[in-house]
Structure 1
Amino acid sequence: MAEVYGSVAAGFESVREEFATVAAAEARDGGAQLAVYHQGRQVVDLWGGDGVGGDALLALYSSAKGATSLVVALLIQDGTLDPDREVASWWPEFAAEGKDRLTLRGLLAHRSGAIGVDGGFRPAELADDRAVAARLAAHRPYWEPDSGHGYHALTFGALAGEVVLRATGRTVQAHYEERIRAPYGIDYHLGLPEELEPRFRTALPLIPTPAQAAFLAASPGRPDDLLGVAFGQHADPPFDAVAYGNSRAVRAACPLSGGGVGSARGLARMYAAVAGPLGGRPPLLTPDTLAEVSRVHSSGKDLVTGENNAFGLGFVPLATRHPELGPTTIGHSGVPGSQSFADPSRALSYSYARRRFAFLGGPGAPENDRLIRAVARAADRAAA
């Protein structure tokens, strides 16, 4: 068993044992963190492995899609955004090439077909969502909008962020800071301040193990297929996920498809504010909003990955992958193998973060399966 640091509340000792035998051992070459909230209090705060402390900030990639989706959900809840309104009604340029009838609902459910552009994006563009959005607006979709779904790996955040900016005059990052991060003291950042850089550098460099490097070098998909387009393998140079995560420009600007930086503690606290009351505040989302964003809007074979999956409104409905979770569980994974979610049926939130890659693409590192089962069982026993 690998050495594990941190603490668990009474009743959650089995989670510590699972983390020691599975997560820390799996990630010993790079380190991992696990944080859980239950009924408004933190009950798990663990870390282990090589080179990662409990307060280390990590590149958590597509976890930013979850934070972006939370901002959009709040704006829908306010009535500021109508999910059934056409994207082009806010963003006229997006109507080009047959995208004029796509609604915000379809965009959030990964149904736009705007997964990339011919020739791909340059590294500097991928740090600038406005540049990505401008190119996507003028470009043809890779399938007829709303005719199917496919994971918008590098473009989801630019698309959703441009709608928010056009509709409100403010960025997703500004809404997130004002309504979510600052009020709740969340250690997850959509744009990492310079003064927090030392906490990220303690976990640098983000380097794959030799086996992971070989897998990454093989790249997902061919340059001429949808998987290759969605993951930037048709670009010159091809998208380099490791360089992206290690880029200060990416950390500072936070492109919303994958530029968020934080800790397991931070994402668990963010989702705790969805799962139930936190710090004397009511849950961020009302039951009606939660039901709408967690409802499956896309399911079946993903046109990009070729796998069967499901999307709600931006969020992944996690009960489709982990049946032990409640039906309104929402969250998102990140490419190193991280996974975070809120399960409002249990007033439970979970975040597992890794330093190194477990895979490229997919629903989270495999150790999440065992960790989530252990956490759900412990929460149920604690509530009994």
Structure 2
Amino acid sequence: MTQSTVHGTVADGFEPVHAEFAAFVAGERPDYEGQLCAYVHGRRVVDLWAGEGGDGDSLYGVLAATKGAAHLVVALLVQDGTLELDRKVTYYWPEFAAEGKGVLTLRELLAHRAGLVGTDSGFTLEELADDRAVAERLADQRPFWRPGAAFGYHALVIGALAGEVVRRATGRTVQDLYEERIRAPYGLDFHLGLPAAREPRFRPAQPMLPTPEQRELLDALLSPPHTLQAIAFNRHGAEPTDLATLPNHRVIRAKGPASVGGVASARGLAGLYAAMIGELAGRAPLLKPDTVAEFGQLHSVGHDLVARSHKAYGLGFQATADTWHPFLGAGAVGHSGAGGCQAFADPRSGLAYGYTRRRCAFPGGAAPENDRLARAVHTAALAR
């Protein structure tokens, strides 16, 4: 198999990004397939891809990067005054009060502080695809820590929890509001519910190929059936979830669950964050600077009980500079995906970044190459 060739374009001044991407691709497996896109102040400055069979229009399952799209909807509703961050969740969703959860505010829920990372018996695939089914199960679930007392990554459920608040407040789903207010007006190739007509552009996810040493680390983390990590990633029930290949199920792509069901290109990922912070395609920014700042402000930082490592979250979004790329400006917000994708906005430089790859990278989350690629893009953006 021959080595992948890099295709696409970069704007003047971003040639080092092309060189960095080409150098990375040259050192990867011959079957590497991925995309890199970036905007600066609403102008696309990087549009690159590599891989046999894929192109700039290919669509990939972006797993947790879906949370960025879902929580952009929440941010819009807060900006509109439809949702209030410091109201209790039960103001919108009375049934949520069961098992001592009535004290939790919407702000705390969005900051991964609910203690509600899964259920005792796990979810079926059909339930994971259906945000309302997940929310109904979680309403009755006893939290795994006292709500508000600590934080941990609500990997498969945070979108369903936030989405149920949205549905109770508006009568609409996150997916419907996202399509109406964000995806369709801006023409974004980032879907929460992939239409059947776009299925031919979808590239099925390829599973991780860990070394024996890496496999041992993964097994130690996820194999014990009743750890908090196993519960959060739905590894403990009758139908254990294979996160890496979850997007390959049509029911996930079709329903677009708000935690993990998004399908996108790198253009779609970067375009979402470009529209969030600045003008795009002749349209005003989706969010005002104060809203961006509030959702990017650190709300949970320190030891993540699920990840068992240092993490930093704003409201629904990851605090990207504190979690992944410390060279970014303060207040950078986004969300990575377990397959290796990365997406964020850096308001201080006007940069919006999107990266996808087909094969899941070890150890999950933003693939390691994002650090060198994002750094190259950020350096070029600042040089302008």
Structure 1 length as normaliser, TM-score? 0.95
What are the equivalent positions in structure 2 for 1:312-331 lying under 5 Å apart? 312-320=314-322, 321-331=324-334
- Tell me the residue number matched to 2:89: 87
Q: 1:6 aligns with which of 5, 8, 11?
A: 8
Deviations 1:226-272 (A, max 9, x none): 11110111111211224421000000001111000010001111111
Counting matched residue pairs gives 379
- Tell me the residue number matched to 1:189: 191
Q: Decide whether aligned partners of structure 1 residues 103 and 28 sit closer, same or farther in structure 2, where only a CA change above 3 A counts.
A: farther
Q: 2:355 aligns with which of 352, 366, 369?
A: 352
| Contact 2:60–2:205 (Cα < 8 Å) also in 1 | no
- Tell me the residue number matched to 2:338: 335
Distance 1:57 1:379 in 2: 26
Distance 1:180 1:215 in 2: 42
Deviation at 1:27, TM superposition (A): 6.1
- Tell me the residue number matched to 1:253: 255
What are the equivalent positions in structure 2 for 1:121-140 lying under 5 Å apart? 121-140=123-142
Distance 1:336 1:215 in 2: 19
What are the equivalent positions in structure 2 for 1:68-147 lying under 5 Å apart? 68-147=70-149
Distance 1:127 1:40 in 2: 33
Secondary structure of 2:301 counterpart: strand
- Tell me the residue number matched to 1:209: 209
Deviation at 1:380, TM superposition (A): 1.0
- The amino acid that maps onto 2:343 is S
Deviations 1:7-66 (A, max 9, x none): 111110000011111256436434010001112111110001343211100001011101
Distance 1:195 1:115 in 2: 34
Distance 2:237 2:275 in 1: 39
Q: Decide whether aligned partners of structure 1 residues 219 and 34 sit closer, same or farther in structure 2, where only a CA change above 3 A counts.
A: farther
Question: Which range moved further: 165-174 or 222-231?
Answer: 222-231
Secondary structure of 1:71 counterpart: helix
Deviation at 1:2, TM superposition (A): 4.8
Q: Decide whether aligned partners of structure 1 residues 28 and 70 sit closer, same or farther in structure 2, where only a CA change above 3 A counts.
A: farther
Distance 1:56 1:27 in 2: 19
Secondary structure of 1:376 counterpart: helix
- Tell me the residue number matched to 1:218: 219
Identity over aligned pairs, percent: 56
Distance 1:215 1:196 in 2: 38
Q: Decide whether aligned partners of structure 1 residues 216 and 66 sit closer, same or farther in structure 2, where only a CA change above 3 A counts.
A: farther
- The amino acid that maps onto 1:154 is L
Structure 1 unmatched runs, 5+ = none
Deviation at 1:172, TM superposition (A): 0.5
RMSD: 1.8
| Contact 2:304–2:310 (Cα < 8 Å) also in 1 | yes
User: Which runs of 4 or more aligned residues in structure 1 lie more than 6 Å from their structure 2 counterparts after TM superposition?
Assistant: none
Distance 1:51 1:156 in 2: 34
- Tell me the residue number matched to 1:152: 154
Q: Decide whether aligned partners of structure 1 residues 27 and 115 sit closer, same or farther in structure 2, where only a CA change above 3 A counts.
A: farther
Q: Decide whether aligned partners of structure 1 residues 217 and 309 sit closer, same or farther in structure 2, where only a CA change above 3 A counts.
A: closer
- Tell me the residue number matched to 2:292: 290
Deviation at 1:217, TM superposition (A): 7.5
| Contact 2:277–2:289 (Cα < 8 Å) also in 1 | no
| Contact 1:64–1:260 (Cα < 8 Å) also in 2 | yes
Structure 2 length as normaliser, TM-score? 0.95
Q: Decide whether aligned partners of structure 1 residues 219 and 57 sit closer, same or farther in structure 2, where only a CA change above 3 A counts.
A: farther
